[in-house]
Amino acid sequence: MSPWPHPDDRETAGAWLSPNGVCRWTVWSPFAKQVALILAPGTPEEKAISLQRGLNHYWSIELEGIQNGDRYLLKIDNTEPRPDPASKWQPEGVHGPSAVWDTERLEQGLLEATRPAEKWAGIPRSELVIYELHIGTFTPLGTFAAAIERLDDLVELGITAVEIMPVSQFPGSRNWGYDGTYWYAVQNSYGGPDGLQQFVAECHSRGLAVILDVVYNHLGPEGNYLSCFGPYFSRKYNTPWGSAVNFDDAHCDGVRDLVLNNVRYWIRKFQIDGLRLDAIHAMYDNNVRHILGAIRDVAHEEELSVQREIHIISESALNDPRVLDSVEHYGFSHDAQWCDDFHHSVHRLLTGEAEGHYEDYNDPPVNLAKVLQENYVLDGGYSPYRKRRHGRSAVNFPGDQFIISTQTHDQVGNRARGERLLELTGWPQARLAASLMLLAPNLPMLFMGEEYGEQRRFPFFCDFGDPQLQEAVRNGRRREFAEFGWDPQEIPDPCDPLTFESAILSWSWPEGSPNAAIRRLYSDLIAFRRSWSALKNYRYRSTRLFMAPPQSPLLIMDRWSPDHQDQRIRVIANLGGTLANLPTETLNHGTVLWRSEADCYTGLQTSEPRENRLQPWEVIVVSDMSPTSNAAIP
């Protein structure tokens, strides 16, 4: 009988510790002539032990008497010893030694103790209401343990899944996570692998799924030692971060194995419910089976093994439904993808900003109607921003394969100053944006704090140790924002700890404040999504514009379910800053069930007559139906 809990643990890269104290190290290094394991580096007990060459350029060794936390490095030929490319724990940071981590130590004890009575089966895709969060700024302490203390607030709001920005080990203690250099190691300053296991267990005990943001398209610039071990990168393709990860060049098999086993690792060892793949348009692969398809294959295998819902979600700038299409249609069969077209349409409507990629959304009302009906705005037509045609139609795909948002870490943090939408517009516009997102036939994703109108910014921050790299980051940010016409002097220094501290959430919504009022709006609309059959169907929708100049355009969206024809709803949104009269056809459709400008959402009392007209930026829901639960209707 194998001493390893999973028979193939001993065959994959990294250090795998069995319950009886036997540890097997495996490393892929195709050009090495010799590989040595350096145990207890930098101590009087330091010793070097040679690994044995095996098949397919893998080197390995098994040793007894190894304990959780034992430090080690790997030495290729006569080069400087380096941390393990598949390190699971970097307790001293990206430059320090790797540590053996007992993957089963908490998995069987802690996870079983905190699971619900019934086996955790995950959350179906159609029920996902996602909350994107950054562990470091989610709480003042910035740890997994501290984040657990806020989970009940998310459950109360109606969230069903948290999406964590990347937690793979990065330089220093302050970073968005996209500069990680160890795919398997969990950030030490957040609480390391034990902390993540506990966080996931606590989420599951509350009925929350956990989606982890992973970055397979590049590694960060500091502490990235992969090239010391082999051809992990290829110069065939250029990316914004330099040479591409080697998914299809010579000796790519070991790189692909490292990534695919990482997918298994998160699902098996941490009970992760889904992966959000960062910028897949920068993952180049000409193999017959693209790495993106292979990731979905592996995730599906694990889904069958663990018997719970596993979601593969992609961030793609391609507007290409091949990401979602089935294997039979030569697609990657991913479960869902981020849809920036919705955000860009809403943002341009509410802010008027037209620089950069917003140039493509020059008619926001029309763009909004199209994206709500057809999933993409850019679906093969000309893109002024790119100076070429872009995208392909996704009109036949259900809306729950598209994740929409009004704010994300990208759209907020990649502004020069990191302003949130509320700061750029106002409360009525923020309510309209939230209402459109939560009533749309797509999966909504909130960015931490938006649900109560957080006004602290979320600028870019990092904690590189190399002064030259720090200066390069500062200069790079200045050049990047020149395209948008921002003053370089207004860009916060990403390396300054105060920039990081400015992003920590306030968690403040005093009773009677606009913050408390908009949080109620989010909560009520999320409850409506659960209770109204028309909002549970992602295929049946009809969206159009009603134009009656000089008043603002009205966006009219009908949603229904063929199984509940008597529960048809109509969403009407005033897309401008003036009062708008309701069209006659709408008045005959039913009664107004809900208004975004109701007093309970504005925190104000108004005597303004409202019958038959909409306030500026107001959204209403009209129907003859009644909800199927006790969801409150103001």
pTM attached to this predicted model: 0.95
Task: Provide the pLDDT for residue 105.
Answer: 75
Instruction: Please report whether residue 439 resides in a domain.
Output: yes
179: annotated active-site residue: no
Report the 10 Å Cβ neighbour count for 18: 19
Q: What is the CATH number of the domain that holds 602?
A: 2.60.40.1180
Instruction: Please report whether residue 385 resides in a domain.
Output: no
Instruction: Please report whether residue 630 resides in a domain.
Output: no
Least confident window among 156-165, 478-487, 530-539, 587-596: 478-487
Q: Where are the beta strands (DSSP E) in 103-151?
A: 130-133
Instruction: Please report whether residue 116 resides in a domain.
Output: no
Report residue 280 as tokens. Answer: 């897949």
Which pLDDT tens digit goes with each residue over 300-313?
A: 999 999 999 999 99
Instruction: Please report whether residue 631 resides in a domain.
Output: no
Same domain, 131 and 61: no
In order of 388, 441, 442, the CA distances from 274 in angstroms are 34, 21, 18
Which pLDDT tens digit goes with each residue over 390-429?
A: 999 999 999 999 999 999 999 999 998 999 999 999 999 9
% residues pLDDT > 90 (the chain): 83
Residue 6, pLDDT above cutoff 60: no
String of DSSP letters for 151-184: HHHHHHHT--EEEEPP-B--SSS---STT---SS
Task: Provide the pLDDT for residue 606.
Answer: 62
CB under 8 Å to 631, separation ≥6 — which residues? Answer: 524, 527, 528, 530, 531, 532
Q: In this structure, are residues 471 and 161 in contact, taking their beta carbons and an 8 Å threshold?
A: no
| Mean pLDDT of the region 323-351 | 96
Same domain, 558 and 592: yes
Which residue in the list 84, 248, 278, 379 is annotated as catalytic? Answer: 278
Instruction: Please report whether residue 476 resides in a domain.
Output: yes
Same domain, 443 and 544: no
Task: Provide the pLDDT for residue 107.
Answer: 57
Residue 39, pLDDT above cutoff 80: yes
Task: Provide the pLDDT for residue 630.
Answer: 37
Which pLDDT tens digit goes with each residue over 185-216?
A: 999 999 999 999 999 999 999 999 999 999 99
| Domain termination residue (choose one: 84, 99, 114) | 99
Cis peptide upstream of residue 441 (ω within 30 degrees of 0): no
Q: What is the CATH number of the domain that holds 58?
A: 2.60.40.10
Same domain, 156 and 262: yes
Tell me the residue range of the domain where 435 lies.
Answer: 124-226+251-351+400-486
CB under 8 Å to 76, separation ≥6 — which residues? Answer: 29, 32, 34, 35, 82, 228, 229
Same domain, 169 and 266: yes
Tally of domains in the chain: 3
3-state helix, strand, coil in the chain (%, to 5): 30, 20, 50
Cβ-in-10-Å burial (0-12, 13-18, 19+) of 177 comes to buried
466: annotated active-site residue: no
Which residue in the list 285, 315, 335, 400 is annotated as catalytic? Answer: 315
Same domain, 130 and 187: yes
Distance CA 28, CA 14 (A): 9
Distance CA 338, CA 360 (A): 18
CA-CA-CA-CA torsion for 98, 99, 104, 105, nearest 10 degrees? -150
